[in-house]
Structure 1
Amino acid sequence: MLELLNISKQWVPPTGAPKALLRGATVSVSAGETVALLGPSGSGKSTLLRIAAGLEQADAGMVRMDGADISATPPERRGFALMFQDFALFPHLNVQDNVAFGLVEQRIPKAAARDQARAMLARFGLSAYALSKVWQLSGGEQQRVALARALITRPRALLLDEPFSALDADLRLQLREEFKAHIAEHRMATLWVTHDESEARAMAARGYRLLEGTLLRIW
């Protein structure tokens, strides 16, 4: 279980007074469960995700995984996968090596990692692009590569920020079902940040809205 407990965070603008971005936000996500976070732009949703990932430190509060405090654990040692809106793909690597990257970091032999990457790309309809550079792909194709890379390591927790935003409606529906199956099969605790409430309700067992730094359960 992933737990974010009483997370507080101030945003300090270049000029002016600090602003409370998160005020004691608390949410838990069980293995195999998806929880959605909704809220307007700038409400702190992505900041909460970054704190869960270890990319930012909270001013107060704790991040726990399976009962252990991981607040001070570096991101690379948390066993989480995260995907943000800018995709963060490596421009010098081809598509299959972008997807295989996390496996290689886990010391899986490169040939085996590439085999797994090609199998994952096939599930996302990207087999034809395995040897292409990521900058040759459309925005939607790059997003699918980022999703494949996030899933391939079978992380303990999956942190997603608007993961389907660049995809067309048919592919969004297809990937919803793919994600549901994958999350359940590998029992990943999943935090899903989105502006789309209908998508959130289709994907998540529980949903919270972040307003003025406070998480409010909406279903």
Structure 2
Amino acid sequence: MLELRHIQQHYADQPLLQDINLRVAAGEIVALLGPSGSGKSTLLNIVAGLQVPDAGSVWFDGQDITDAAPEQRRFALMFQDFALFPHLNVQDNTAFGLVEQGLPKREARDQALQMLGVFGLSDLARRRVWNLSGGEQQRVALARALITQPRVLLLDEPFSALDADLRVALREEFRARIQTAGMPTLLVTHDETEASDMADRSVRLVQGQLVDATRASSSATYRNA
């Protein structure tokens, strides 16, 4: 289980995140909603270990990992621009994380080929990533994330650069694979439909505080009535 306890963060001397508390169970997908500048990506960076909170702590399976370096956390972070390495082919992109963990390159490549087979990408193993479609690139990015058996998956607007039909197909595929892997997953998005389709539940950042997305929407509807 991933757990955030009393996270606080300031930006330009103004409170950005205030007393954030959240639990994400194994295999659960929680969508984090909110407008640009609300602190969604900042919170994701804190979970990933890329940013230190001003106060509060990050826990995984009962252990405080707030001071742990990103590589020690073994979390996978995926961005909307895929972040694939243009100088590597599909197979070596997928194997990259295993090589970084110290696995011999030949073994890493063998495992990468097996993982690409799971995604139906074996025939593309030797292809350069810039020759792939957007959907193929995103599948390679997910294969690269999953091959290292991450303990938590963090998704930052993963489908926003794709067309509508492809977004729908990949949401379903990602959801199925995340549940099979049993990883706690935090999905940052501004897309209400994406949150509804992919997530088990949604929360929203409102003036630096985390509230149930359904309750926040109902309150907004009441105020605007």
TM-score after normalising by structure 1: 0.89
Equivalent in the alignment of 1:23: 18
Q: Note the residue ranges of structure 1 that are not aligned, 5 or more in a row.
A: 13-17
AA of the residue aligned to 1:135: W
- Report the counterpart of residue 56 of structure 2 in structure 1: 61
Give runs of aligned pairs for residues 97-176 of structure 1, distance below 5 A: 97-176=92-171
Kindly tell me the number of residue pairs found equivalent between the two proteins: 214
Bigger CA drift: 173-182 or 68-77? Answer: 173-182
For 1:138 and 1:19, how far apart are their aligned partners in 2? 41
**Is 1:207 matched with 2:202?**
yes
The question of 1:2 aligning with 2:2 is answered yes
Query: Is residue 192 of structure 1 aligned with residue 187 of structure 2?
Result: yes
Aligned AA for 2:11? W
Residues 104-140 of structure 1: per-residue CA shift (max 9 Å, x gap): 2233332232233223334444434322333344544
State which of 201, 213, 224 in structure 2 corresponds to 1:218: 213
| Cα distance per residue 1:8-59 (max 9 Å; x no partner) | 11112xxxxx221111111110111111001111111011000000000000
SS across alignment from 1:131 = coil
Q: Which piece of structure 1 moves more, 195-204 or 165-174? A: 165-174
TM-score (norm 2): 0.87
Pairwise CA distance, 1:163: 1.2
Secondary structure of the corresponding residue to residue 163 of structure 1? coil
Q: Is the 8 A contact 1:147 1:163 kept in 2?
A: no
1:157–1:190 Cα contact (<8 Å) kept: yes
Distance in 2 of aligned mates of 1:164 and 1:118: 24
Aligned-pair identity in percent equals 66
- Unaligned runs of 5+ residues in structure 2 are 215-225
Secondary structure at 1:120's aligned position in 2? helix
